[in-house]
Structure 1
Amino acid sequence: MTDSLHTNSQLLSGFDHLARTLGETLGPGSGTVLCAWGEDGAEVVSSSAVLARRITQVPGHRRNTGAALLRETVLRVDARHGDGCATTAVLAQALARCARRAVAAGAHPVRVRDGIGRGVAAACDALKAMSEPVAGERDITGLALAATADPELATVLGELTDVLGPDGAIWVREANGDETARHYIDGHRWRARPAEAAVLAHRATELTLIEPLIALVEHELSSADEVRPLLEAAGRRTLLLVAPDITGAARTLLSVHRERALAVVLTTDRTRHSEDFADLGLLTGASVISPVLGLPAASVRAAHLGGVRRVLVRRGDLTVVGGHGDRSAVLQRAAALRSRAWELASGPVEREAADRLWRRQARLAGRTATLTVGARSEQEAEDRARVARRTARQLRDALREGVVPGGGVAYVDCLTAVQAVAPDDRDEAAGLNAVAAALKAPFLRILANARVPAPELALLDAIATGPGHGVDATTGELTDMRRAGIQDTTAVAAGALVAAGETAGLLVSAQLAVGHG
């Protein structure tokens, strides 16, 4: 039994160690953490997500296991929602502490875990009930500022998200200089390049085709015999030919006919080319030319070619404007992709796939923009771009699922719902009490980090004032959080609480397993 208690103590010690460290970064008055490695390597970190990735090990095998459990939890929340690492850590730490005391006092771990689950479910229902739609660009920018602590980035992201709407997508790139700029894309853009660099010679940066026909060839073209039928099908019209690659005699023949034909090579991921060509075909009304699909180049006729109002070709991309495809079919495809993206986004490990589907639907719908993030150094540009991508995702969630009062107030306002749950027994009641105690933790930690005097008294004042009221950590004043523009994304608030509850429940179960081991 002594060994079991020691093991539990070490597991929870590592968990607490990482939770305390991540908690330092919560709120506008949060601090920074100095991460040092080797003899002369060091980095000042203020992002909880970056910090969780940097702290890969703590001393002691069991302590490291506890820290790893929390690290995996917070990074899963970050991957899914783009924010919430520090909040998850603070909630999980408070839940684990209260559950640990209950088990030490004789409560059964499984019943405590069940109580935590019921309390978290009640609180999440309360969060959804208090959620309100995002009011406009001011609210969006406020959310972005809270997520980035970067006024310039927040302003641009707020504008982009407001203009593009809930179905939009923002492509974030790193700039070579220190200027941050945005560009709204008119049409539908793919990464591509001219098959021949010479078509953009003499310092030309782009080439525009008006009302061209389009041939989409899903396989590499190397033979002139595969190109001739395409040129014949186009007749005297200008032809844009899009393929994964064009080499040899095929390129030579196209070069000869460069006055009426332009070849473009897609530079997107080849494993996704079937998706790219399918989307291009839908937009332009073109059939995808491929022997595998039953349409070899030799069989191509004029009816297999698509058309667009305008095409813009640059060294790094292809933009299609005014495709001749069936608009209703395009919107149906976009809606299906959007629905699938939301399904995947609700899972723990499918966020990358969801983001890819989201970009596809936004491109089909014509709601895209690029954000070029500048900085004084390459590392700073990389960091700002990463923050911009995470924040853009979070803002998208906010437009879809709404916002709740920020500063930890939304959790405090869930107390009534949790306290209204009738427990089946004393042990389950202990789990519910753990949730009630944990709901106060983010509010208190935010004020403690901001050095606001007497956080506990401030909490009592906020509760007495009424729902939606809390303390602005930047001023220390009691305020209506929504009116002050201090809000959190509902999805992040609920996601952090669910993850914290699951992890605390796992820790309680681990105590049972070790105790019987």
Structure 2
Amino acid sequence: MMRRRSRPKPTIPEFKQTPGVVLQPRVHQSMQRGINKLVNAIRPTLGPRPRLVAIEKVGRDKPPELLDSGGTIARRVIDLPDADENIGAMYVRGLLWRLQEKVGDGTATAAVMFQEIFNRGLRYIAAGGNAMLLRNYLENGLRQAMEVLDDLQVPVEDRKLLNRVAHSVCYDPPLAESLAEIFDLVGEYGIVQVRSSRARDIEREYIEGSYWTGGLHSREMITDAANKRAQAENAALLISDLEFETFEQLEPALRLAVENGYPALVIMASKISDAVTGLLVTNQKAGRLQTFAVKTPTLRSDDQQAAMEDLAVLTGGRPFVKAAGDTLASLTPEALGQARRIWADMEYLGIVGGKGSPLERRDWIKKLSIAYHAAEEAEKRNKLCERVGRLYTGSAVLWLGGMTESEIEARKELTARTIQALRAALYHGVLPGGGAAFLACRQPLRQALSASDDPDEQAALRILLAALEAPFRTIVQNAGLNPAQALNQLEQAGPGATFDVTTGKVAFSADSGVLDIAEVARSALHSAVLGASLALTIDAFVHRHKPPVVTEPD
């Protein structure tokens, strides 16, 4: 009888490094190898006809993850086996991660420009150039290029252009058309929920008013059995995060609603006892006053506070906050919010036609909008965008289908990137796409180059000129075309022209839909130049004996 050999368990190689200090020329050489390894993995994803990158999953029996997003690819690379090369790769990874968090796209563009600047700058420094002077001149050239991008910006003012912008990001005509219609109706801050669908076609649904997470406290409060929700017309709203254990605690609100002739009262509370729930249901069935109770939106205290503030502005009430020691003993009619209609199911609370002051709402929206555009963290920015969207009282749900679950998830991720790009386009405008906007930035740099007699400045300008061509050349090459021939055709066509790699012909961006989001392009160029110029000044590595294990950049 043969004995069956047990299969050895797969092992994950341990990251090892020797503590110590690393100096030149090893610093530049190893850093360059690490940067090139990561950027070369991202480079094929740039453009409307990208190649895919396969990322091996932890389980060998699972299929690889196929990606065409530079930012996502960078996130998947945790470290390289060589500790010196790893520093270069993680430097770029952190830069691209922050760029994706800030604007949602542009990571592949930034990566190829970063690589061009770093590699050419390294050759100049190896030949005797001064890294600090080179950095200063690179940053001076950046300012000139950014001024050109500012002049090229075009506002997005109609649905047709919205469609072109969406298509330039997702390259999915049905998805682009759906998103263009949605944002044409709900605007820059409109809430767009993306959900999975069993149908293969894209479906969209528009929701009147605003809604928050936090539904009914009890199914017994449902009055519309068909839609599984409760609904009240011309209702008053008690906004609070209080806990009601006894009916006596809630009695001031009920008495006030009856005395002031409100046909319905909606009670918002973080907790309501079963006894109070039973009395509210009995009271409603008796026909005395239509009432139902909803949960205070969200779970985190700071998010709850923000939700209550927004509801107060929208409906004209004031929040009663448990942490502040508030009770209903001093409740007045002015403290209750009002709305044309309030509905709630077991998940959501909806407000239609809030009767708060339009002037106060406008000022509140302005304050939140300023905070949104100043926010650096993606999570904070997304929350502020949702808050503004709810105050504009318009939202949509986009249902996406596919053949497989992985296909649906990939489409949802692409949709999220496109939504973020559309918001940026509505606020900042668009530029000629396909790398054409960066090519337009070369003119003032060429003039500065011809007027300069400083070797370091001349080197910096030549490096920038090559970097500004890198996105265009990469896009064309990824499409299987000749970059030199395409660049020659584009330069002969004159100002305003772009190159459409899907047709292989020169086109004009306003008609072809070859567009870039202005803020994405600006941020990509800014990150690439500042990041690469700083990297060129690194002269030493210090390795720790036991480096901390992290997956996100600081």
TM value normalised by structure 2? 0.87
What corresponds to 1:431 in structure 2? Answer: 460
356 and 305 in structure 1: CA distance in 2 versus 1, 3 angstrom threshold: same
430 and 152 in structure 1: CA distance in 2 versus 1, 3 angstrom threshold: same
Structure-to-structure mapping, 1:204-219, within 5 angstroms: 204-219=227-242
Q: Does 1:24 align with 2:55?
A: no
Q: Deviations over 1:304-325 (max 9, x none)?
A: 2221111122232111111221
What corresponds to 2:532 in structure 1? Answer: 504
Tell me the CA shift for residue 378 of structure 1.
Answer: 3.3
507 and 147 in structure 1: CA distance in 2 versus 1, 3 angstrom threshold: same
Tell me the CA shift for residue 368 of structure 1.
Answer: 2.7
The partner residue of 2:71 within 49, 59, 68 is: 49
What corresponds to 1:172 in structure 2? Answer: 194
CA distance in structure 2 between the aligned counterparts of 1:225 and 1:479, rounded to whole angstroms: 73
CA distance in structure 2 between the aligned counterparts of 1:481 and 1:35, rounded to whole angstroms: 34
267 and 379 in structure 1: CA distance in 2 versus 1, 3 angstrom threshold: farther
Q: Does 1:342 align with 2:364?
A: no
Q: In 1, are the aligned partners of 2:49 and 2:502 still within 8 Å (CA)?
A: yes
Tell me the CA shift for residue 358 of structure 1.
Answer: 1.5
CA distance in structure 1 between the aligned counterparts of 2:85 and 2:339, rounded to whole angstroms: 61
Determine helix, strand or coil for the equivalent of 2:513.
coil
What corresponds to 2:254 in structure 1? Answer: 231
Instruction: Letter of the 1:303 partner, please give it.
Output: E
What corresponds to 2:11 in structure 1? Answer: none
Pick which of 394-403 and 57-66 moved more. Answer: 57-66
What corresponds to 2:214 in structure 1? Answer: 192
Q: In 2, are the aligned partners of 1:184 and 1:370 still within 8 Å (CA)?
A: yes
5+ long unaligned stretches in structure 2: 1-20, 543-554
Say how many residue pairs are matched: 509
What corresponds to 1:40 in structure 2? Answer: 61
What corresponds to 2:380 in structure 1? Answer: 353
What corresponds to 1:59 in structure 2? Answer: 81
Q: In 1, are the aligned partners of 2:168 and 2:513 still within 8 Å (CA)?
A: no
36 and 210 in structure 1: CA distance in 2 versus 1, 3 angstrom threshold: same
Instruction: Letter of the 1:116 partner, please give it.
Output: L
Pick which of 68-77 and 239-248 moved more. Answer: 239-248
CA distance in structure 2 between the aligned counterparts of 1:51 and 1:36, rounded to whole angstroms: 11
Determine helix, strand or coil for the equivalent of 2:329.
helix
What corresponds to 1:270 in structure 2? Answer: 300
CA distance in structure 1 between the aligned counterparts of 2:46 and 2:69, rounded to whole angstroms: 9
Tell me the CA shift for residue 107 of structure 1.
Answer: 0.7
Tell me the CA shift for residue 152 of structure 1.
Answer: 2.5
What corresponds to 2:281 in structure 1? Answer: 255
What corresponds to 2:552 in structure 1? Answer: none
Q: In 2, are the aligned partners of 1:112 and 1:429 still within 8 Å (CA)?
A: no
Instruction: Letter of the 2:148 partner, please give it.
Output: A
Q: In 1, are the aligned partners of 2:241 and 2:322 still within 8 Å (CA)?
A: no
5+ long unaligned stretches in structure 1: none
CA distance in structure 2 between the aligned counterparts of 1:123 and 1:427, rounded to whole angstroms: 18
What corresponds to 2:16 in structure 1? Answer: none
Instruction: Letter of the 2:474 partner, please give it.
Output: R
Q: Does 1:286 align with 2:317?
A: yes
What corresponds to 1:483 in structure 2? Answer: 511
What corresponds to 2:354 in structure 1? Answer: 323
Tell me the CA shift for residue 268 of structure 1.
Answer: 1.6
Q: In 2, are the aligned partners of 1:118 and 1:432 still within 8 Å (CA)?
A: no
424 and 189 in structure 1: CA distance in 2 versus 1, 3 angstrom threshold: farther
292 and 8 in structure 1: CA distance in 2 versus 1, 3 angstrom threshold: closer
Tell me the CA shift for residue 178 of structure 1.
Answer: 4.3
Q: Deviations over 1:14-69 (max 9, x none)?
A: 10111111110011121111222453332222222222222223331111111111
Instruction: Letter of the 1:475 partner, please give it.
Output: T
Determine helix, strand or coil for the equivalent of 1:296.
coil
Q: In 2, are the aligned partners of 1:307 and 1:324 still within 8 Å (CA)?
A: yes
Q: Deviations over 1:263-299 (max 9, x none)?
A: 1113423321111111111211222224654641122
CA distance in structure 2 between the aligned counterparts of 1:187 and 1:91, rounded to whole angstroms: 44
Pick which of 123-132 and 151-160 moved more. Answer: 151-160
CA distance in structure 2 between the aligned counterparts of 1:291 and 1:244, rounded to whole angstroms: 9
Percent of paired sites with the same residue: 29
Q: Deviations over 1:416-467 (max 9, x none)?
A: 1222336583113212221111000111111111011x31132122123212
The partner residue of 1:467 within 495, 503, 522 is: 495
Q: In 1, are the aligned partners of 2:297 and 2:304 still within 8 Å (CA)?
A: no
Q: Deviations over 1:163-222 (max 9, x none)?
A: 222343323334465453222221121112111112337454333211112111222222
Pick which of 280-289 and 250-259 moved more. Answer: 250-259
Pick which of 465-474 and 419-428 moved more. Answer: 419-428
CA distance in structure 1 between the aligned counterparts of 2:50 and 2:335, rounded to whole angstroms: 60
Q: Deviations over 1:72-98 (max 9, x none)?
A: 111211111111111111111111111
The partner residue of 1:11 within 14, 31, 50 is: 31
What corresponds to 1:299 in structure 2? Answer: 330
Q: Deviations over 1:102-153 (max 9, x none)?
A: 1111110011111111111111110110111125222222222222233332
TM value normalised by structure 1? 0.93
Structure-to-structure mapping, 1:91-240, within 5 angstroms: 91-175=113-197, 178-200=200-222, 202-235=225-258, 237-240=263-266
What corresponds to 1:377 in structure 2? Answer: 404
Determine helix, strand or coil for the equivalent of 1:493.
helix
Determine helix, strand or coil for the equivalent of 1:57.
coil
The partner residue of 1:368 within 391, 395, 407 is: 395
Q: In 1, are the aligned partners of 2:125 and 2:131 still within 8 Å (CA)?
A: yes
Determine helix, strand or coil for the equivalent of 1:299.
coil
Q: In 2, are the aligned partners of 1:113 and 1:428 still within 8 Å (CA)?
A: no
CA distance in structure 1 between the aligned counterparts of 2:135 and 2:453, rounded to whole angstroms: 13
Determine helix, strand or coil for the equivalent of 2:214.
strand
CA distance in structure 2 between the aligned counterparts of 1:363 and 1:92, rounded to whole angstroms: 39
CA distance in structure 1 between the aligned counterparts of 2:248 and 2:393, rounded to whole angstroms: 36
Q: CA RMSD in A?
A: 2.2
Tell me the CA shift for residue 414 of structure 1.
Answer: 0.6
Q: In 2, are the aligned partners of 1:4 and 1:514 still within 8 Å (CA)?
A: no
Instruction: Letter of the 2:235 partner, please give it.
Output: P
